[in-house]
């Protein structure tokens, strides 16, 4: 262990890169009130490295990264390494006023709106897939051998995640080469999104110490399965009673659930600009990749944008508490606070408008003929980041959720990624994003 340990005060930026500043851990207490300095233009730095050409920020201005002490994470070191310690921060003005581009603020306000207007709270779990970058031949999908091949990385990851407070539930090999998944227990609102940030940093850090890179990029190989982020949502009332289950309705989805789902489906195209926002994201969201083959809600169907996972009587947990909606259209290039905040606001929009129940699809969307696809309201996801950004620009409701400064900064970052991607073929692009995420 080194004599001086460091704790990082960090935020998750618009491209979902975690950035910040570190200080000796012994001085953290003295920094909790005022945080550390930050610069507005940092929010226009793209995942590729440079400040976006199109940015609302100049060289002026000062901000603070203000630690949220409840989010402090510490993962003990193995010998010869230092402990991983960081605290998630809000981005605020020097006088403590929330900054209008702070992603945690965006989510907090979305959750507050839902709670104030309908007394509804959101319980959420981000389900992440990732791949180890390795030239070694892959073991068979889901196999025990695939789990053991990088041993002791699996148990080390679980140990670190337990210490980091993200409550990992399982460790398993997924379908693609060297692909793994670690589902975590759900948490309420902001804490659920915090868990997504913490999980990725811990997995990358522990893997780094085992000399292998863990990548959460949406697609490493255009010919293979991608790395999804599936956002599992449950709704509860102020007293904690579950609100999504109604055995008398199609799919056992309550009226509240139907309206919430309809809101998300209705804004699906614009939402994709916030949930799957890299130049490689759309390629993952093609039919037959078990990501999102179609914009619809369906029961136990891995081609639907919104899946209703099966109720499992074997668990003994009452069905109402098991019921959730799984949004399958996100990936790790999305800022989890913006993605979840936008899903919450889309659901809220469906509640306000009392939207009619979306039909619950009961088959693979790709077998529908055109007439049935229309009847079921099944459409395709935008097929490029360009199309997603156009959908966002054209959806006044979704666009209106983002304060103008946040919208300008966000679109600036995304446009500059698009521009950089223009002349690069998809395989090379996948490699570049794999090195970043
Ligand atoms: N890898 C798939 C995706 O890109 C998800 C597979 C699954 O876990 O259902 O979303
Ligand atoms: Mg999976």
Q: Whose CA is nearest to atom 7 of ligand 1?
A: 290
Residues linked to residue 205 through DSSP beta bridges, in sequence order: none
Structure tokens at 210: 């085992």
Residues with CB under 6 A from ligand 1: 129, 225-226, 228, 284, 289-291, 302, 328
Q: For a pocket test of ligand 1, which of 302, 333, 364 has the largest count of ligand atoms closer than 8 A to its C-beta?
A: 302
Backbone angles phi, psi at 181, to 5 degrees: -140, 140
pLDDT, tens digit, 9 for 90 and up, residues 328-354:
999 999 999 999 999 999 999 999 999
Strands (DSSP E) contained in 70-139 are 73-75, 84-92, 120-133
For the domain made up of 6-50+61-99, the CATH class stated in words is alpha beta
Query: Could you tell me the fold of the domain covering 105-396+428-436?
Result: Creatine Kinase; Chain A, domain 2 (3.30.590)
pLDDT digits (tens, 9 = 90+) for 207-256: 999 999 999 999 999 999 999 999 999 999 999 999 999 999 999 999 99
Sorted by where each begins, the domain ranges of the chain are 6-50+61-99, 105-396+428-436
Ligand nearest to the CA of 183: 2
Q: Residue 228 Cα, ligand 1 centroid: separation in angstroms?
A: 5
Percent of the chain's residues with pLDDT above 70: 99
Mutation test residue for ligand 1: of 328, 331, 332, the one with most atoms within 8 Å of CB = 328
d(CA 279, CA 387): 11
**Over the stretch 27-62, which tens digit does the pLDDT of each residue have?**
999 999 999 999 999 999 999 999 999 999 989 999
**Which ligand neighbours the alpha carbon of 176 most closely?**
1
Tokens of 263: 């809101």
Which helix (DSSP H) or strand (DSSP E) does residue 163 occupy? helix 153-163
Most informative mutation of 178, 228, 305 for ligand 1 (most atoms within 8 A of CB) = 228
**DSSP secondary structure letter of residue 77:** P
Q: For residue 226, which ligand has an atom nearest its CA?
A: 1
Cis peptide before 152 (omega within 30 of 0): yes
Q: Is the pTM of this model over 0.85?
A: yes
pLDDT at 372 over 90: no
Output the CA 116–ligand 2 centroid distance in Å.
34
Q: Does the pLDDT at position 117 exceed 70?
A: yes
Residue 181 CA to ligand 2 center (angstroms) comes to 6
Distance 312 CA to ligand 2 centre (A): 18
pLDDT band for 2, please (50, 70, 90 cuts): low
Q: Which residues is 71 bridged to in the sheet?
A: none
Q: How far is the CA of 173 from the centre of ligand 1 (A)?
A: 12
The residues, any chain, with a CB within 8 Å of residue 410's CB and separated by 6 or more, are 14, 338, 402
């Amino acid at each position: 262990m080194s004599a001086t340990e460091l704790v990082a005060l960090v935020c998750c930026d618009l491209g979902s890169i975690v950035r910040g500043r570190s200080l000796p851990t012994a001085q953290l207490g003295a920094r909790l009130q005022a945080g550390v300095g930050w610069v507005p233009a940092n929010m226009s730095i793209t995942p590729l490295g440079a400040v976006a050409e199109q940015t609302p920020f100049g060289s002026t201005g000062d901000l603070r990264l203000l630690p949220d002490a409840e989010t402090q994470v510490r993962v003990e070191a193995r010998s010869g390494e230092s402990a991983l310690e960081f605290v998630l921060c809000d981005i605020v003005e020097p006088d403590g006023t929330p900054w209008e581009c702070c992603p945690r603020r965006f989510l907090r306000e979305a959750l507050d709106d839902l709670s104030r207007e309908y007394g509804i709270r959101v319980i959420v779990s981000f389900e992440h897939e990732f791949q180890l970058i390795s030239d070694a031949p892959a073991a068979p999908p889901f196999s025990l051998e695939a789990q053991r091949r990088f041993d002791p990385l699996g148990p080390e990851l679980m140990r670190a995640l337990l210490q980091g407070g993200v409550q990992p539930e399982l460790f398993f090999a997924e379908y693609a080469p060297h692909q793994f998944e670690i589902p975590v227990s759900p948490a309420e609102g902001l804490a659920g999104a915090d868990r997504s940030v913490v999980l990725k940093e811990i997995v990358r850090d522990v893997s780094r110490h085992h000399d292998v890179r863990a990548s959460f990029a949406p697609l490493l190989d255009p010919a293979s399965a991608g790395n999804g982020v599936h956002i599992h949502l449950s709704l509860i009332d102020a007293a904690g009673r579950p609100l999504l289950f109604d055995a008398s309705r199609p799919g056992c989805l309550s009226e509240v659930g139907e309206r919430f789902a309809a809101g998300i489906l209705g804004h699906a195209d614009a939402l994709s600009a916030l949930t799957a926002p890299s130049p490689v994201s759309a390629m993952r969201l093609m039919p037959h990749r078990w990501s999102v083959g179609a914009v619809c809600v369906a029961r136990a169907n891995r081609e639907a944008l919104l899946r209703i996972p099966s109720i499992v009587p074997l668990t003994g947990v009452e069905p109402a508490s098991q019921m959730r909606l799984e949004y399958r259209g996100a990936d790790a290039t999305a800022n989890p606070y913006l993605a979840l905040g936008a899903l919450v606001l889309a659901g809220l929009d469906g509640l306000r408008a009392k939207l009619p129940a979306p039909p619950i699809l009961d088959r693979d969307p790709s077998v529908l003929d055109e007439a049935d696809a229309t009847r079921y309201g099944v459409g395709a996801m935008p097929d490029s980041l360009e199309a997603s950004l156009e959908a966002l620009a054209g959806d006044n409701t979704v666009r209106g959720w983002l304060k103008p400064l946040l919208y300008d900064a966000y679109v600036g970052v995304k446009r500059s990624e698009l521009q950089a991607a223009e002349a690069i073929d998809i395989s090379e692009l996948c490699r570049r994003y794999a090195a970043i995420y």
